[in-house]
């Protein structure tokens, strides 16, 4: 898609916007006289229509000026009768001097203004904060990633990601887009020192400090009805435009917001998309989402950014739950409602509302992953049984116990069919998962685990 070239009128409006914003945060900087003086300095003349423009924009409140950016003011100038009058003169206006304001952060919305986010008004500040050379930052964020090979003989695509395809439990392949070392370090810094300082909605439990699968499941224990929905293609559904809007909301100027967006989003390789389509697990809409810049599944930043970008979705679904007398929580793409027995009879209405709200927020429900679980059936929330108290399903315990028993009898190699590199750690992780809900079961599993004879790894001496 080609970018439309700005018209001459838009260039004039942009030049005037630069001048008017230059001292807008100084005391008295937004009075009609101050605005007119800066516009006159930019034009080199003082035509009659300039007074009309200054008076119109001088009516804006200080709060509006504090949150006004260059594109917004440019559009406002384009819509004023004064600019229309300017182009009715014999000689069109000209910008003779470009007046620029110092780079600065934008005010954040109320409620976010007291969070200690890093101040990054320029790309140079961003590069220094990420401990990158400016050229390296430009390379990581370049819109056109065509670079020459070392022998300078032919151009090649510089990809900052590697891909992994993993089989899904219900068929098809799951795509992991994993950033390479340089980009991953930058993303980890953005996550640890920026994103984790911004609060997410209370209903979000996935990838949030002091919340987990356990807290997500605990909210629905002992309810008469539990209803679950899954969002389809959760990370790819969050496009770069939404991520960019988040950075702007957090106060970062346009250039820095674009760079942060480029660091945290990715456009999937056409060859990988074709491979997924050949497998039959990717429909046309899924391919379209991957072909556009989106949150990559595999980036350290993606879960936190997804939670923040889904804030309004959570807000609306929590309000919907209140109307239905239900409780709502979300763990990544897993939406769960629970409540009284009457909720079962209103399941169709709830589903229609959730589907509509999700679509309005840019998401889609997975049609095969909708479940309504009354109390006389087993109720599961992200793999945890919640009928009476949070617990893992008995079948999971029995399956793991059988694996451990075979490891005791025949050695761990007999059960490591998937050739897991750290099979010992793999088993301990499963035991810990069950143990956080049922310590007694953990104790029984650990007694079996401690009887396993692990092969001794020989160490060669130098």
* In the predicted structure, residue 217 carries a pLDDT above the cut 50: yes
Q: Which of 94-98, 102-106, 400-404, 456-460 has the highest mean pLDDT?
A: 400-404
> What pLDDT is attached to residue 457?
65
- Reported as a single tens digit per residue, the pLDDT across 234-254 is 999 999 999 999 999 999 988
> What pLDDT is attached to residue 458?
53
- Reported as a single tens digit per residue, the pLDDT across 64-83 is 898 888 888 999 999 999 99
- Reported as a single tens digit per residue, the pLDDT across 357-369 is 999 999 999 998 9
Detail the DSSP E strand segments found in 114-199.
146-148, 155-157, 161-167, 173-179
* Residue 24: both structure tokens together: 């807008």
DSSP element (H, E) containing 385? strand 384-385
* In the predicted structure, residue 151 carries a pLDDT above the cut 50: no
Cβ burial, residue 181 (10 Å; 0-12/13-18/19+) = exposed
Going from the C-alpha of 104 to that of each of 57, 68, 300, the distances in angstroms are: 21, 12, 28
Q: Are 221 and 385 within 8 A, CB to CB?
A: no
* In the predicted structure, residue 144 carries a pLDDT above the cut 60: no
User: In the structure, how many helices (H) and strands (E) does the chain have?
Assistant: 21, 10
* In the predicted structure, residue 377 carries a pLDDT above the cut 70: yes
Q: Are 400 and 392 within 8 A, CB to CB?
A: no
Percent of the chain with pLDDT over 90: 76
* In the predicted structure, residue 462 carries a pLDDT above the cut 50: no
Measure the CA–CA gap between 255 and 104, rounded to whole angstroms.
11
* In the predicted structure, residue 57 carries a pLDDT above the cut 60: yes
Mean pLDDT of 4-8: 77
* In the predicted structure, residue 394 carries a pLDDT above the cut 70: yes
> What pLDDT is attached to residue 283?
87
> What pLDDT is attached to residue 170?
65
């Amino acid at each position: 898609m080609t970018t439309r070239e700005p018209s001459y009128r838009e260039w004039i409006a942009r030049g005037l916007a630069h001048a008017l914003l230059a001292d807008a945060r100084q005391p008295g900087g937004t009075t009609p006289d101050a605005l007119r003086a800066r516009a006159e300095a930019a034009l080199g003349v003082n035509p009659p229509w300039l007074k009309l423009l200054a008076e119109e924009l001088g009516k804006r409140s200080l709060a509006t000026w504090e949150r006004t950016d260059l594109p917004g003011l440019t559009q406002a100038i384009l819509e004023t009768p004064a600019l229309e009058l300017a182009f009715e003169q014999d000689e069109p206006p000209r910008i003779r001097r470009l007046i620029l304001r110092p780079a600065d952060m934008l005010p954040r919305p109320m409620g976010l203004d007291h969070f200690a986010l890093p101040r990054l008004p320029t790309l140079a500040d961003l590069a220094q904060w990420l401990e990158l050379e400016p050229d390296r930052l430009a390379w990581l964020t370049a819109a056109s990633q065509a670079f020459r090979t070392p022998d300078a003989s032919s151009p090649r695509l510089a990809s900052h990601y590697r891909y992994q395809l993993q089989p899904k439990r219900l068929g098809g392949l799951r795509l992991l887009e994993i950033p390479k070392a340089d980009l991953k370090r930058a993303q980890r810094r953005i996550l640890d020192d920026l994103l984790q300082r911004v609060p997410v909605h209370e209903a979000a439990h996935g990838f949030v400090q002091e919340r987990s699968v356990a807290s997500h499941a605990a909210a629905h224990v002992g309810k008469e009805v539990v209803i679950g929905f899954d969002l389809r293609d959760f990370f790819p559904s969050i496009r770069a435009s939404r991520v960019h809007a988040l950075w702007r909301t957090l106060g970062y100027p346009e250039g820095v917001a674009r760079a942060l967006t480029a660091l945290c989003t990715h456009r999937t390789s056409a060859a990988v998309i074709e491979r997924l389509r050949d497998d039959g697990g990717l429909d046309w809409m899924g391919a379209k989402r991957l072909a556009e810049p989106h949150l990559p599944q595999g980036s350290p930043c993606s879960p936190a950014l997804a939670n923040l970008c889904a804030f309004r979705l959570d807000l609306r679904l929590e309000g919907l739950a209140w109307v239905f007398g239900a409780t709502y929580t979300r763990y990544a793409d897993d939406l769960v409602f629970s409540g009284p027995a009457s909720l079962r009879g209103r399941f169709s209405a709830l589903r229609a509302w959730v589907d509509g709200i999700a679509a309005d927020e840019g998401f889609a429900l997975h049609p095969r992953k909708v479940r309504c679980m009354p109390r006389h059936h087993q109720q599961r929330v992200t793999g945890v049984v919640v009928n009476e108290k949070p617990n893992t399903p008995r079948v999971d315990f029995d399956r793991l116990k059988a694996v451990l028993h075979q490891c005791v009898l025949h050695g761990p190699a007999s059960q490591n069919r998937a050739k897991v590199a750290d099979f010992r750690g793999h088993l301990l992780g499963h035991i810990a998962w069950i143990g956080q809900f049922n310590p007694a079961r953990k104790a029984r599993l650990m007694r079996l685990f401690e009887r396993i004879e692990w092969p001794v790894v020989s160490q060669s001496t130098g």
